[in-house]
Structure 1
Amino acid sequence: MGRRSDHTRDELEQLIIGAGHTLLAEVGYHRFSAREVAKRIGYSVGTIYNVFDSLDDLMLAINGRTFLIWAETIARSLQNAGLDRIALLVASYFDFATSNRNLWMAIYDHRLPAGVPLPDRYARQRGVLTDILRGEIAAVLPEDRRDLAPALARSLLATVHGHCVFALNGTFALLDERDPHGAALARVREALAAAGAHIAV
């Protein structure tokens, strides 16, 4: 019988998220199950659903942790960045996706039902990463064009993500693109230059 009183609710939440994050990294989104998480922590699956409202709620908590780890990784890299911080951002995206493929893909594989809004907590966790991106883009734009940073950040994120997906799923190999990372960086530079950015390299 699963343990029921070894941890407080807050401790259980962190225990479940930690075990779920590890499992997701190992097996990927499509093989993930709350039952396996429960088994790993020695509790019943019912305990998980006493802490999290649903599997969607649990997945958002785990993906939120991934966003925070990703943001922390990028923030550390930026502390030692050279002049071309945009190149570092693109490289960091590829590096994180390649090194944490299952966790990275789960962010995009998991979708809430139509019409269900993202919880504020998850939006804040995701926002830590996107705020870094917006800030770095704003920093290379002329002062009178910095209001373009949010829209540019969204578009450039989509550009880099698309290149990364094609690199990892083999599509670029079929298209004979041998440097997806370099191609993504070139497209980012072109878009920023068109917006009047100045990037030291």
Structure 2
Amino acid sequence: MAGLQKAKSEETRRRVLEAATAAVEAGGMDAVNIRNIAADAGYSVGSVYKHFADLDALLIAVNSVTLARIKEVMGEAVEEIDDPLAQLKVLAQAYLEFARANRNLWITLFSHQVPDGKPVPEWHIQENIALLGFIATPLRLLNPDLGEEALAARSRTCFAAVHGLVTISLEARFVGLGEGTLESEMDFLVERLAG
């Protein structure tokens, strides 16, 4: 009996999370409304709150889905590549393509802020840090003399630089780059950052 209850609970959570993820994909973070998510998933509002304490918890779960998708894309991108510089370039291009193809999920990942004083769950912080491992692995090969702290800092710097270029370009800021130029300048940036 307990096993059946657990399975039903997991199914409810899964369906609510799928409905919230679909809402973000379709309309961005502002499209996530607990009442609408409950209706879309086929459950009561109380069922949503049983699995997600509030809207922030639900959006963190959606962002976790997004991080898992980025991790999958990045893993596939470097699967057959041995050269570390080529890996970094491919990772940057894969990140750009993910952002283009999943714009609302990507924007929500970086736009959602939990209120001051409310902690971000440790597991979610670790999911974010895990993605930096894709950058750290080839950087370590290119810069074997970097200590762990320096490698962590360089990985964050590389991510921040690529993310910044992607952001200003996809937002069509006046300093952003257009398609074609963006890809080649991304390679240029990665080459310089890789050391």
Preserved CA contact (<8 Å) 2:16 2:37: yes
Cα shift at 1:66: 0.8
| Alpha-carbon distance between aligned partners in 1 of 2:130 and 2:67, rounded to the nearest angstrom | 8
Q: Which residue of 2 aligns with 1:145?
A: 146
1:51/1:75 Cα in 2 relative to 1: closer, same or farther (>3 Å)? same
Preserved CA contact (<8 Å) 2:158 2:190: yes
TM-score normalized by the length of structure 1? 0.84
1:189/1:10 Cα in 2 relative to 1: closer, same or farther (>3 Å)? same
| Alpha-carbon distance between aligned partners in 2 of 1:88 and 1:19, rounded to the nearest angstrom | 32
1:177/1:76 Cα in 2 relative to 1: closer, same or farther (>3 Å)? closer
Q: Which residue of 1 aligns with 2:167?
A: 165
Cα shift at 1:146: 4.6
TM-score normalized by the length of structure 2? 0.87
| Alpha-carbon distance between aligned partners in 1 of 2:121 and 2:177, rounded to the nearest angstrom | 39
| Alpha-carbon distance between aligned partners in 1 of 2:118 and 2:176, rounded to the nearest angstrom | 40
**4+ runs of 1 displaced by more than 6 Å?**
none
CA deviation vs aligned residue, 1:134-181 (integer Å, no higher than 9, x gap)? 22222221x22253221011111111111111111111xx34744223
Preserved CA contact (<8 Å) 1:65 1:125: no
Query: Are positions 1:100 and 2:123 aligned together?
Result: no
Preserved CA contact (<8 Å) 2:168 2:176: no
Cα shift at 1:77: 1.5
Q: Which residue of 2 aligns with 1:89?
A: 91
Q: Which runs of 5+ in 2 are unaligned?
A: none
Moved more, 96-105 or 70-79: 70-79
Q: Which residue of 2 aligns with 1:42?
A: 42
SS at match of 2:163: helix
Preserved CA contact (<8 Å) 1:138 1:146: no
